[in-house]
Every structure is written in structure tokens, then in C-alpha cells.
């Protein structure tokens, strides 16, 4: 048991950005680009969080979360090693209730139903949660994406198009989703409409 504690400590100390200002700025710019151009795949490199979190998910956590942002971990990602890594590198408090989360990390199945997450209020729509859906690969069904940042339409492969289409019925309230796989990410802002093909 004690050996496990030592390993968790070692995992917590490793895996952050080697050059935090430069790498953090690069990842943040890439995330902004992904949010501004839904459906575009960007690279989020530089982080090596404990399994099962991907490099892209870890990089997103490093630039988006801090002591003031509450993080919920889905069962797929709720490990002692990942909790310790988050605590050391970002200080983000991990909450037990998804309704309290500013950010959530986990696999797609663990995020459902999406109605558990905050969507903000009419006065403060920015208080809606951001979900980091971590996957082994981008997979699912072909969908059409339309809305701000998309010239005409974009195409993507996403799971459960009907659920995604219904996620933001009261825009500008809603949730934003960042899909991660390996070192790649793709964003689905609440302003983006999803339609199955």
C-alpha cells in the first residue's frame, strides 16, 4: 500500500509542461482556434498526465483549470493518480457533484446524461460547464456542424448526434465540449448546431 502512495506522488510531480509559459500559450491558442472553428482538429501537446487521461486532455486541464475552477471526474478518469496530478499541477478542487462543476473530464458514457451539468443562467450564461470528453479515437456517426465560426458547414464524427443536437436548447445557455484523443482535440461550442447525416 505504501508503494502505491509513493507511485501516486511520483505521477503527480511529473507530466506537466516542460516550459510552462511557452507551452501553455501554445495550447491556449490552439484551444481558442478549436472553439472559434468548430470541427477543426488541433494538437494539444506537452502534457503527460497519468492514465487514462490523454496528452490533449492533460494539456487542456493545465491551461483551463486552477484553484478557482471546480473539476468533476467521471468514473472512467476518477483515479487517485489523476486526482493527485490535478492537485499538484492546477490546484483545481475535485467535486463529487457534476452539477457543481465548471469543468468535467471523462469518457462519453460517463458524461451522460448531459442534463446533470450546469448550463449557466440567462444573466450569466458563461457559467455553463465545459466537458473534456477523453476518447481513444474520434469515432461515432457522421454529423453536420453549422453555426458561428463555420463557413457553410463542417463535418465531424461524433457519438450520439441526437443527444448532441439537444444539448443547448436555451442558447446562450448551454455546455461546451472539448473532444480529446491522444494529442488531438476538437471543440463543440454551445453555439454549434449538430445534425446527423
Please give the share of the chain, as a percent, with pLDDT higher than 70: 93
Q: Which of 13-17, 18-22, 189-193 has the lowest mean pLDDT?
A: 13-17
Task: Give CA–CA dist 29/195, Å, rounded.
Answer: 28
Question: Residue 135 above 90 pLDDT?
Answer: no
pLDDT tens per residue, range 110-121: 999 999 999 999
Contact 133, 161 (CB under 8 A): no
The confidence score (pLDDT) of residue 46 equals: 94
* Cα distances (Å, whole numbers) of residue 64 to 59, 70, 89, 138, 159: 9, 11, 12, 22, 24
Q: What pLDDT is stored for residue 167 in this prediction?
A: 80
Mean pLDDT of 11-32: 88
194 falls in which pLDDT band (50, 70, 90)? very high
Q: What's residue 17's pLDDT?
A: 87
Of the ranges 4-13, 68-77, 157-166, which one carries the lowest mean pLDDT score? 4-13
Structural domains for the chain = 2-196 (3.40.50.11310)
What is the predicted pLDDT for the residue at 138? Answer: 80
Amino acid at each position: 500500500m505504501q508503494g502505491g502512495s509513493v507511485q501516486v506522488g511520483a505521477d503527480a510531480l511529473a507530466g506537466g509542461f516542460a516550459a510552462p509559459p511557452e507551452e501553455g500559450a501554445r495550447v491556449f491558442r490552439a484551444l481558442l482556434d478549436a472553439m472559434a472553428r468548430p470541427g477543426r482538429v488541433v494538437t494539444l501537446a506537452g502534457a503527460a498526465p497519468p492514465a487514462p487521461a490523454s496528452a490533449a486532455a492533460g494539456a487542456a486541464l493545465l491551461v483551463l483549470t486552477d484553484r478557482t475552477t471546480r473539476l468533476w471526474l467521471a468514473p472512467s478518469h476518477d483515479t487517485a493518480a489523476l486526482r493527485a496530478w490535478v492537485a499538484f499541477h492546477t490546484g483545481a478542487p475535485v467535486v463529487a457533484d457534476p452539477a457543481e462543476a465548471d469543468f468535467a473530464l471523462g469518457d462519453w458514457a460517463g458524461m451522460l446524461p448531459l442534463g446533470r451539468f450546469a448550463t449557466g443562467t440567462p444573466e450569466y450564461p458563461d457559467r455553463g460547464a465545459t466537458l473534456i470528453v477523453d476518447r481513444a479515437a474520434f469515432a461515432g456517426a457522421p454529423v453536420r456542424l453549422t453555426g458561428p465560426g463555420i463557413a457553410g458547414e463542417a463535418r465531424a464524427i461524433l457519438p450520439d448526434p441526437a443527444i448532441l443536437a439537444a444539448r443547448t436548447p436555451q442558447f446562450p445557455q448551454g455546455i461546451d465540449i472539448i473532444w480529446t484523443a491522444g494529442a488531438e482535440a476538437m471543440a463543440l461550442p454551445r453555439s454549434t448546431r449538430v445534425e446527423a447525416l
